[in-house]
Structure 1
Amino acid sequence: MKAKASLLLSSLVLSGAAIAQAKPEPDFTLSYNVGVVSDYRYRGISQTARRPALQGGVDWAHKSGFYLGTWASTIRWIKDTPPATRGSVELDLYGGYKGTAGAIGYDVGFLQYWYPRNNYDLVTGEKADTTEAYGALTFGPATVKYSHALTDLFGAANSDGSGYLDLSATFDVGNGFSVVPHVGWQKIKNFGTYRDYSVSLAKDFGGGLVVSGAVVGTNWEDRFGFPNTLPGSGTKDLAKKAGLVVGAKYSF
């Protein structure tokens, strides 16, 4: 009798495992994230006058490889550039397709940087809103990505056609730690090109919580001969040669 019961129990366990293994892949996934950083540095330049920022986003990914998403952050650079007075939030809207070709991963898409109700056109005659097309290739830990501006770049007059080349790598060093070195080159059409760089250390604590620290800098002043400052941020160099940025993000 005991043998029959054990056999029945084993059959039920194996049947349950088979059902679990046969569970179909969902057609899509929806994920969310919220976070805070001590300074929002984008392409090496502070968007928040070297002050903290609140951030968060939503991502939808289909099993076919297509994806859509949105991400937002508080900013200061528009209002720090008089006579502009409106534009305290950056809202990114993006979509594209990810896939693989052998050992190479690829990602192509479009990204709209939208600054709701901004009046940056009072400064240059151009809105700060910017549209870029991008393409990226990944092999092992390394990724190369190029972004091309289809509009004027963040309100800089006559800068459509500007481009940004981004080289980075992600190394898992164990115990939830990862190291990400990065270097990028931003070409601003009819102005010039500068380089930014960073080295980030992140710790994944599990449950969706990641804490990070990064050394971020640029060669802006060496390249152009003057610091990157705005009237509203006083003498703060927004593209300083090296600065520490810490942050925390929770994904769910």
Structure 2
Amino acid sequence: MLRHLILCIATLAALPAQAQLRVGETGLSLTGTGTVATDYLFRGISQTRSRPAYQISNLELSHESGVYVGAFLSNVSFAGTNARQEIDIFGGYRFTVAGLNLDLYGIWYTYPGYTPAPGQFGLNYAEGALKVTREIGPVTLMATGAASPNFFGSSGTGIYLEAGADWRTGLLDLTAGARVGHQWVERNPRFGAPDYTWWALTLGRDFSIAGIGTVTASIGYYQTSISRQDCAPINGRGQDICGARALAAISFKF
């Protein structure tokens, strides 16, 4: 993993320095995050089969009113398929009520270039979600609920709940985080796994560069309740994409 983290740092250093782009007096601004990580985990499950991920996340055009649209791009690798990239399109509205920060949004997950082989199903799906956060001193609490009418792999209704907290420790400017989530899926055989719980503990630090942006270094431990045998089995054998793992990442926010 150390070798991968060094690769992360070297790759990120090659990125051009950019600052937040404001669009004249329109109230619009463009932001984004470039990330290099040792893996791409989505709700605790590896999307790259434990290989490095290269991502543009939260590429976002937002308005001061709270309305925004954006995109997420990443490499992926699903065993037995020709899916190699993921491009998600999202949009939503952020607002504040009674001290709570709310984010109501929708996402269209797509996998360009993927062609289903005989017996395989479509991967694209839509999801609507609501995220709520609240800051209490150095702690930020969060909760998310999401629903899809036809989840990944044409697996029917998907319901997801997540809760967590981030604590600005005051020690070396480190932020400690914890997350726990649960995914329900209507057609588990098509999804490739039973309903499951995942959790994570993370540690990160921001490095601000005046007039340029913010570099974030992070490391985390992730685990799911899915056994190896039940993890997206192929020919009766489960895969090593749902088990415990560490993830290291370097991100550049502009």
Instruction: In structure 1, list runs of 5 or more residues that go unmatched.
Output: 1-23
Residues 220 and 98 (structure 1), Cα distance of their counterparts in 2 relative to 1, 3 Å cut:
same
Correspondent of 1:131 among 126, 130, 141: 126
State the AA in 1 paired with 2:53.
A
**How many Å apart are 1:231 and its aligned residue?**
4.9
Structure 1 position 111 matched with structure 2 position 107: yes
Q: Deviations over 1:155-174 (max 9, x none)?
A: 14xx3221110111111112
Instruction: In structure 2, list runs of 5 or more residues that go unmatched.
Output: 1-23, 189-193
CA distance in 1, matches of 2:119, 2:249: 32
Residue of structure 2 in register with 1:160 after alignment: 156
* 2:169 match: secondary structure: strand
Q: Deviations over 1:11-39 (max 9, x none)?
A: xxxxxxxxxxxxx9860210122111101
**How many Å apart are 1:198 and its aligned residue?**
0.4
Question: Are the counterparts in 2 of residues 105 and 139 from structure 1 also a CA contact under 8 Å?
Answer: yes
Residue of structure 1 in register with 2:200 after alignment: 198
* 2:77 match: secondary structure: coil
State the AA in 2 paired with 1:190.
R
Residue of structure 2 in register with 1:101 after alignment: 97
**How many Å apart are 1:138 and its aligned residue?**
1.7
- The alignment covers a number of residue pairs equal to 215
Question: Are the counterparts in 2 of residues 227 and 237 from structure 1 also a CA contact under 8 Å?
Answer: no
Structure 1 position 239 matched with structure 2 position 247: no
Residues 64 and 122 (structure 1), Cα distance of their counterparts in 2 relative to 1, 3 Å cut:
farther
Residue of structure 2 in register with 1:55 after alignment: 55
**How many Å apart are 1:69 and its aligned residue?**
0.8
Structure 1 position 145 matched with structure 2 position 144: yes
* 1:64 match: secondary structure: coil
State the AA in 1 paired with 2:184.
K
| TM-score calculated relative to the size of structure 1 | 0.79
Rg larger in 1 or in 2? 1
CA distance in 2, matches of 1:121, 1:97: 38
Question: Are the counterparts in 1 of residues 134 and 141 from structure 2 also a CA contact under 8 Å?
Answer: yes
Please state which structure has a larger fraction of its residues in helix: 1
**How many Å apart are 1:143 and its aligned residue?**
1.1
State the Cα RMSD in Å.
2.1
Question: Are the counterparts in 1 of residues 156 and 187 from structure 2 also a CA contact under 8 Å?
Answer: no
Residue of structure 1 in register with 2:83 after alignment: 87
State the AA in 2 paired with 1:144.
A
Residues 178 and 25 (structure 1), Cα distance of their counterparts in 2 relative to 1, 3 Å cut:
farther
Residue of structure 1 in register with 2:42 after alignment: 42
Percent identity between matched residues is: 24
CA distance in 2, matches of 1:213, 1:131: 29
State the AA in 2 paired with 1:147.
A
Question: Are the counterparts in 1 of residues 229 and 239 from structure 2 also a CA contact under 8 Å?
Answer: no
